A and B are shown apart, each in its own frame.
Chain A
C-alpha cells in the first residue's frame, strides 16, 4: 500500500501547530521515512534562518512615521494646501493602465488562439493564485476561457511556470 508523504504538515509540526492526532500521525511517519525526516531537518534550519533574519528588521523613527502618515491623510482630505495626494492618484493611474493592458492582452490572445485544446492540461490553480492574488483568480473563475486568460493576466506567471508544471510525483512513492 502506498503512503503519501505528509509534507505540508511538516512545517506545522515543527511549529507545534498540529492537533494531537495529526502530530502523532506525523511523528510516526517521520520515524520510518528518511525523506520526510531530511525535509523536516532542512525546514527547521530554514525556519531558524528566517527567524534570525526577522530579528534584524530595524524599527523606523515612529514619530516621523506618524507625522508622515498624518500628512498623507491630510493630503487626502485636502486639508493641507499645496500637498497633493500624488501617490494615491498615481496608484489609481497605474491600476487603470494595468487593467487596460491586461484587457488588451486578453483580446489579443483570444484573437490568436480562439479555440482551446480539449485535452490540454489545466493550469495548477494554486500556482496561479500564488502568482496573481486571490482577487484576480476569483474574477477569472467566472469565465470559461480562464485557462488561457490566466497566463496573460499577469506576467508574474511566467516566472512561476515551474510551479505550474506537474508537482513532484515522488510524493506518491512508498516511504
Chain B
C-alpha cells in the first residue's frame, strides 16, 4: 500500500531518510514551480524550495495532522517566498552601499536565468514581459494568491488555508492582484 504524505511525514519525524526521499519525489517539482512563480528567479526558487524541505526534515514532528501535509508544506514554501521577497527589499533599502562581494550567496539583484535558451526567449516575448513587470508591482501575498490559483489550480479555500486567512480574504487578494495586473498590463502596452 502506498503510504500517504501524512504517514511519510510522521516517518520523517522519526528520522526515516527513505520517507523523506519519497516526499521529495512527490513534492519537489511543485515546490520549485510555486517558488519560481512567486520569486521570478530560478536560482532563488531552488534555494527557497530546498529551505522548505530542510524545514520539513527538521520540523516534521511539528506537523500536527490537522491539515493535509500538502497544505502544511506549501504554506511553508509560500511563507519562505514571502519572507524572501521582503528580506530582499530590506537588503536593498537598508544596505544601499554594499557590494555583491559582501555576500556572494545573496546577490542584491536577481541573477540572470541559469538556463538561457528557448525559455529566456519566451520570457522576453511581449505579453510575458508585461506580465513579469506587472507581477513585480504586487505585494508578495497577492502574488502568491493569484499564482497559486492560476498555476497550481488551487481553489480559494485551499489558498486561504495556505495563506492562513479566510476564504473571502483570499478572494480579495486575488481580485486585487487581477485588478492591478489588468491595469498595469494595459498601461504598459
Residue among B105, B119, B128, B139 making CB contact with A86, cutoff 8 Å: B105
Question: Could you say which residues of chain A place their CB within 8 Å of the CB of B37?
Answer: 54, 57
Contact yes or no, B178 A130, CB < 8 A: no
Which residues of B are found within 8 Å of A12, using beta-carbon distances? 155-156, 171, 174
- A50 B123 Cβ-Cβ under 8 A: no
Cα of A7 to Cα of B175 in the assembled complex, Å: 7
Contact A87 B105 (CB under 8 A): yes
A8 touches B175 (CB 8 A): yes
A54 to B143, CA, bound (A): 13
B131 CB, min distance to chain A CBs, angstroms: 5
- Residues 154-189 of chain B, each 1 if its beta carbon lies under 8 Å from chain A, else 0: 011000000111001101111110110110011000
Q: Which B residues touch A94, using CB under 8 A?
A: 87, 90-91
A24 CB within 8 Å of chain B: no
Cα distance, A98 to B37, chains bound together (Å): 26
How far is A173 from B163 in the complex, measured between Cα atoms in Å? 31
Q: For residue B53, which residue of chain A has the nearest CB?
A: A69
A65 interface neighbour in B28, B127, B131, Cβ under 8 Å: B28
Are A56 and B94 interface neighbours, CB within 8 A? Answer: no
Bound state CA distance, A158 and B34, in angstroms? 26
Q: Distance (Å) between the CB of A22 and the closest chain B CB?
A: 11
Instruction: Please determine whether A68 and B50 come into contact, CB atoms closer than 8 angstroms.
Output: yes
Contact A133 B83 (CB under 8 A): yes
Contact B29–A156 (Cβ < 8 Å): no
Flag if B149 contacts A133 (CB, 8 Å). Answer: no
Q: Which of A90, A129, A155 contacts B141 (CB 8 A)?
A: A129
B103 and A62: CB pair below 8 A? no
The answer to whether A51 and B175 touch (CB under 8 A), given A43-B182, A69-B50, A98-B90, is no
Are A56 and B123 within 8 A (Cβ)?
Answer: yes
Is A32 part of the binding interface, using a Cβ–Cβ cutoff of 8 Å? Answer: no
Contacts of A10 in B (CB 8 A): 175, 178
Query: Which residues of chain A from 74 to 98 have a CB within 8 Å of any chain B CB?
Result: 76, 86-87, 90-91, 94, 97-98
Q: Known: A160-B139, A163-B139. Is A50-B150 also a contact (CB below 8 A)? A: yes
B36 near A57 (CB under 8 angstroms)? yes
A64 — nearest CB in chain B belongs to which residue?
B46
Give complex CA distance A15, B122 in Å: 25
Contact B42 A65 (CB under 8 A): no
A135 / chain B contacts, CB cutoff of 8 Å: 79
A133 and B168 contacting across the interface, CB-CB below 8 Å: no
* Interfacial chain A residues near B119, Cβ < 8 Å: 56-58
Q: Is A156 within 8 A of B164, CB to CB? A: no
Given contacts A43-B182, A59-B32, A87-B105, contact A68 B46 (CB under 8 A): yes
What is B's interface to A at a CB cutoff of 8 Å? 24, 28-29, 32-33, 36-37, 42, 46-47, 50, 53-54, 57-58, 79, 82-83, 86-87, 89-91, 93-94, 103, 105-106, 115, 119, 122-123, 127-128, 131-132, 139-142, 146-147, 149-151, 153, 155-156, 163-165, 168-169, 171-176, 178-179, 181-182, 185-186
Closest 4 CB pairs of A and B: A130-B139, A54-B151, A8-B171, A8-B175
The contact sample of 21 A-B pairs, CB cut-off 8 A, is: A8-B171, A17-B155, A46-B181, A49-B131, A52-B128, A56-B119, A57-B37, A58-B115, A62-B29, A87-B47, A90-B105, A94-B87, A94-B90, A98-B87, A101-B90, A126-B173, A133-B82, A133-B83, A135-B79, A155-B93, A156-B140
